[in-house]
């Protein structure tokens, strides 16, 4: 039986890893009804792949237990996505697991790059993934692996999922350069707003458990203002508490040039930063950190003092902190599916790219369907049925 340290060591060993594949993320999902099925795949003695597989039984009012779902958040992790044998072998193992579990479907969502930059973003909307071998999108040399993986998935009968649970695209900052170089790469407006926030009296401090209630209230305010849906308070408090348990004090962590291969980095942890004006919290962010990478998982801001640009200074302080503890990449977690001003995420996307990061398009989530009839019900009819039941409950209450 594996423990947290053993599993996280395995997850950290892959060239591309993700905090959503760690033991701690599994603990979070277990709290909300998912079963965790850690999987390791070898060829002889060589580790070729691994995945934190989440399993959930679907129970529907009146209908009872209805089916099983398998989901690999930001997984599987592979030794080499360019190795066709490894890709096919791991997909076979995932398909076999879905059959053993009698699942309706299994959903994977690996961080495999399809393209860099904003060009070719409509490959999904045009259905090009169904004809991956013949598409003519101009990709950089480094992203051709995504094209090959998409082709393999299509050939094996996987379907590009209508339900993209995680962001498919993102913006990533390389933190290996000096602070001077990082500032130089930023857009002029971003540099100006960082200085403006400092001049206007914005101060940034570390947050902790005592700030959870305030953070959630501010997140609610942000969601109402910006028009997106959030979960209830218990979900976020569970995430923050689970990952904060592994955190060290700032004095321990903020040692310049600390080596990457430390227990601090092999055990994922959260770091909270709060921007204040005259002692009043006006913006905050929650980072999840694992190995040599950090993710901007949650951001929230007050409607007060926005003209003082607290979010710019907040992210700059995050960048400075991450560099001090040896983090090499800062994933700003989320970019539009469509790089057009009509996309609801375009405004926040422009904010993110202002820090000088690279836009990355991933292949997204793919479904392997074991029961086509139930899959169609799951995709189209079940959501309407559950919506009707919720509406009836509201009318009766």
pLDDT tens across 346-356, in order?
999 999 999 99
**Which of 268, 271, 267 has the alpha carbon at shortest distance from 284?**
271
pLDDT, tens digit (0-9, with 9 covering 90-100), for 227-265: 999 999 999 999 999 999 766 544 344 543 444 444 348
Mention every residue, 6+ apart, whose C-beta is less than 8 A from residue 316.
194
Which pLDDT belongs to residue 250?
A: 45
**Which of 273, 261, 323 has the alpha carbon at shortest distance from 298?**
273
Which pLDDT belongs to residue 65?
A: 76
Which pLDDT belongs to residue 377?
A: 83
> Does the pLDDT at position 93 exceed 50?
yes
Burial of 232 (0-12, 13-18, 19+ CB in 10 A): exposed
Tokens 């962001």 correspond to what residue? 167
> Does the pLDDT at position 394 exceed 70?
no
Which pLDDT belongs to residue 137?
A: 39
Cα–Cα dist 342/192, whole Å? 26
Task: Report CA-CA distances (Å) from 166 to 1, 163, 244, 328, 334.
Answer: 29, 9, 22, 22, 8
% of the chain with per-residue pLDDT over 90: 76
Range with the lowest mean pLDDT among 36-40, 117-121, 131-135, 370-374?
131-135
Which pLDDT belongs to residue 251?
A: 39
H helices within 101-142, ranges in order?
none
Backbone angles phi, psi at 356, to 5 degrees: 90, 15
The mean of the pLDDT values for the chain is: 88
What's the half-sphere exposure (Cβ side, CA atoms, 13 Å) at 170? 22
Going by pLDDT thresholds of 50, 70 and 90, the confidence category of residue 127 is low
Which pLDDT belongs to residue 132?
A: 39
**CB crowding 153-190: b at 16 or more within 10 Å, else e:** bbeeebbbbeebebbbbbbbbebeeeeeebbeebeeeb
Which pLDDT belongs to residue 378?
A: 82
H helices within 160-202, ranges in order?
179-185, 188-199
**Which of 53, 42, 51, 45 has the alpha carbon at shortest distance from 86?**
42
> Does the pLDDT at position 387 exceed 80?
no
pLDDT, tens digit (0-9, with 9 covering 90-100), for 168-192: 999 999 999 999 999 999 999 999 9
pLDDT, tens digit (0-9, with 9 covering 90-100), for 35-68: 999 999 999 999 999 999 999 998 766 666 778 9
Range with the lowest mean pLDDT among 14-23, 56-65, 146-155?
56-65
Under 8 Å between Cβ of 284 and 249: no
Q: What is the mean pLDDT of residues 8-30?
A: 98
To which H or E segment does residue 10 belong?
Answer: helix 4-12
Range with the lowest mean pLDDT among 14-28, 59-73, 257-271?
257-271
> Does the pLDDT at position 22 exceed 90?
yes
Q: What are the structural domains of the chain?
A: 4-165+363-396 (3.40.630.30), 170-361 (3.40.630.30)
Cα–Cα dist 285/332, whole Å? 11
Q: Residues, the chain, total?
A: 397
Which pLDDT belongs to residue 381?
A: 63
Burial of 141 (0-12, 13-18, 19+ CB in 10 A): exposed
> Does the pLDDT at position 83 exceed 90?
yes
Going by pLDDT thresholds of 50, 70 and 90, the confidence category of residue 383 is low
3-state secondary structure of 35: strand
Which pLDDT belongs to residue 257?
A: 44
> Does the pLDDT at position 337 exceed 70?
yes
Cα–Cα dist 240/107, whole Å? 25
Which pLDDT belongs to residue 143?
A: 60
Q: What is the mean pLDDT of residues 182-210?
A: 98
What value does the CA radius of gyration of the chain take, rounded to a whole number of Å? 22
Which pLDDT belongs to residue 58?
A: 84
Peptide bond just before 76 cis, omega within 30 deg = yes
Which pLDDT belongs to residue 248?
A: 53
> Does the pLDDT at position 141 exceed 60?
no
Which pLDDT belongs to residue 379?
A: 82
Under 8 Å between Cβ of 291 and 139: no
> Does the pLDDT at position 397 exceed 50?
no
């Amino acid at each position: 039986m594996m423990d947290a340290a053993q599993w996280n060591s395995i997850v950290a060993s892959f060239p591309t890893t993700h905090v959503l594949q760690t033991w701690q993320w599994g603990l979070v999902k277990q709290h909300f009804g998912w079963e965790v099925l850690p999987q390791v795949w070898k060829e002889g003695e060589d580790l070729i792949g691994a995945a934190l597989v989440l399993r959930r039984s679907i129970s529907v009012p009146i209908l009872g237990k209805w089916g099983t779902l398998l989901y690999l958040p930001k997984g599987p992790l592979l030794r080499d996505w360019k190795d066709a044998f490894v890709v096919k072998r791991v997909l076979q193992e995932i398909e076999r697991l879905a059959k053993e579990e009698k699942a309706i479907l299994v959903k994977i969502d690996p961080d495999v790059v399809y393209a860099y930059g904003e060009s070719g973003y409509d490959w999904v909307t045009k259905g090009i993934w169904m004809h991956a071998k013949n598409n003519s999108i101009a990709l950089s040399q480094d992203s051709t692996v995504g094209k090959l993986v998409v082709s393999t998935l299509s050939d094996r009968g996987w379907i590009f999922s209508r339900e993209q649970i995680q962001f498919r695209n993102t913006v990533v900052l390389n933190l290996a350069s000096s602070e001077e170089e990082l500032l130089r790469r930023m857009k002029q407006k971003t540099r100006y707003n960082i200085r403006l926030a400092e001049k206007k009296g914005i101060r940034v401090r570390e947050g902790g458990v005592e700030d959870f209630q305030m953070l959630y209230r501010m997140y609610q305010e942000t969601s109402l203002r910006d028009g997106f849906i959030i979960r209830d308070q218990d979900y976020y408090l569970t995430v923050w508490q689970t990952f904060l348990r592994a955190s060290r004090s700032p004095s321990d962590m903020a040692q310049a040039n600390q080596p990457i291969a430390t227990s601090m980095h092999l055990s994922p942890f959260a770091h909270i930063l709060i921007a204040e004006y005259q002692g009043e919290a006006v913006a905050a962010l929650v980072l999840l950190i694992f190995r040599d990478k950090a993710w901007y998982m949650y951001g929230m801001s007050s409607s007060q003092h926005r003209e003082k640009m607290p979010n710019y200074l907040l992210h700059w302080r995050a960048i400075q902190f991450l560099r001090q503890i040896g983090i090499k990449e800062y994933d700003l977690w989320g970019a539009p599916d469509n790089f057009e001003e009509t996309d609801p995420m375009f405004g926040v996307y422009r904010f993110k790219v202002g820090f000088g990061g690279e836009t990355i398009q991933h292949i997204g989530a793919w479904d392997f369907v074991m029961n086509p009839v139930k899959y169609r019900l799951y995709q189209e009819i079940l959501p309407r049925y559950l919506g009707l039941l919720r509406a009836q409950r509201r009318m009766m209450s």
